[in-house]
Amino acid sequence: MRNTIKITVAIAAASAVALGASACSAPSDVSASGDKGDKNAPLVIAASPTPHATILDYVKEKLAPQVGLKLVVKPFNDYKLPNKVTDDGQVDANFFQHKPFLDTFNKENGTHIVPVVNVEIEPLGIYSKKIHKLSDLKAGSTVSVPNDPSNEGRALKLLADNGVITLKPGVGSDATLTDVKDNKGVKITELEAAQTAPRLADVDAAVINGNFAVGANLKPSSDALALEKAQGNPYANFLAVKQGNENDPRIKKLAKLLNSDEVKKFIEDKYKDGSVIPAFGPVKG
C-alpha cells in the first residue's frame, strides 16, 4: 500500500517567521562600496556565519592586507537575503551557496547572480537526538529536510542512499517529495534549512546542511548517522557576484586568496572533523 507523506506546514511557516527575525543583518544595515571604480574601496561580502564568514574573517585578518584589499564581512542566517542584497547592490558579493541553489534562486527571483570561484564543500548529514542508527527509524518516525528545492532533493537522495526512503527509478538529487516512491511510513517534514538544526529535538532525525550543523556544534564525522560523500560532489560553495562585476579587481584579488594554499590549510586545520573540505577551482555548469 502506498503511504502518504505528511508535510508539517505549521512548523515550516513558524520556522520561516523565526528565520526572518534571525538574520544577523537586514538590507538597511549593509552597504556596498559607493564607487565601483575605486579599487581601494572596501569590498562588502554577505556570508553565512559558519564556515563562510569564518573563512572570510581569516582572509580579512591574515591575507587581504598583504594585497591591499579591505574586506567587510556581513553575516546572514538566511538563504535568501544574501542574493537579494547582492543583486540590488547593497553588498558587493556573497559566499554561502552552491550552483544548484543559485540556479533555482535566479530563475525564481529574476536575479542575475553568477559564481566566481569554488571554495569549499560541506557534506550534508543525517542527525538525531533520539536514535543511534538509521535502522531505528520506524513507521511514524519524523524526519525533517530543508525546504529549498536544491537542498531538499539532495536530502531526499541522501535518505534514499541510506535506505530510509525509496525514490522513483532514475531520480537523483533533483528529487521532490512527489518522487518518493515509498517513505516506509516515515513522515517527511519540510523546514527552512536554517531551522533543521535548532529544531532537531522536535523530530526523530533531520537532514542538516554542513554549515548549520557546525553552527549547532554538531560534529559530522562523529555525530552524523550518515554523511554525504565529498568526492565528486557537485555542491561546492563559491564566491558570487552580480553579473557584470566578475572583473572587479577586488573580486579577482579575493578569489585568488580564497583559492590559496593558506586558505586550504586553514580549512583543513579548522575543520579536522571533515565538516568543511577545500574544493578550489572554477565553477562548472
**What is the set of domains in the chain, with CATH numbers?**
9-18+124-227 (3.40.190.10), 31-122+233-281 (3.40.190.10)
Check residue 225 and give its pLDDT: 97
- 16 or 261: whose pLDDT is higher? 261
Q: Is the pLDDT of residue 242 over 80?
A: yes
Q: Is the pLDDT of residue 146 over 60?
A: yes
Strands (E), 69-210: 71-75, 93-97, 113-121, 125-127, 142-146, 166-167, 180-182, 187-191, 205-208
Model pLDDT for residues 149-167, shown as the tens digit of each residue: 889 999 999 999 999 999 9
Check residue 274 and give its pLDDT: 82
Model pLDDT for residues 52-106, shown as the tens digit of each residue: 999 999 999 999 999 999 999 999 998 899 999 999 999 999 999 999 999 999 9
Q: Is the pLDDT of residue 29 over 70?
A: no
C-alpha span between 144 and 140 (Å, rounded): 13
User: Reduced to 3 DSSP states, what percent helix, strand and coil does the chain have, rounded to the nearest 5?
Assistant: 40, 20, 40
C-alpha cell at 80: 535568501
Check residue 280 and give its pLDDT: 94
pLDDT tier, 37 (very low <50, low <70, confident <90, very high otherwise): low
Check residue 261 and give its pLDDT: 98
Q: Is the pLDDT of residue 12 over 50?
A: no
Q: What is the three-class DSSP state of 251? A: helix
- 243 or 22: whose pLDDT is higher? 243
Q: Is the pLDDT of residue 264 over 80?
A: yes
Q: Name the most confidently modeled range: 1-5, 31-35, 215-219.
A: 215-219
Q: Is the pLDDT of residue 10 over 60?
A: no
pLDDT tier, 173 (very low <50, low <70, confident <90, very high otherwise): confident
Nearest to 36 by CA among 239, 240, 246: 246
Check residue 267 and give its pLDDT: 96
Q: Is the pLDDT of residue 181 over 70?
A: yes
C-alpha span between 94 and 73 (Å, rounded): 9
Question: What phi-psi label fits residue 123: left (phi over 0), alpha (psi between -120 and 50 degrees) or beta?
Answer: beta
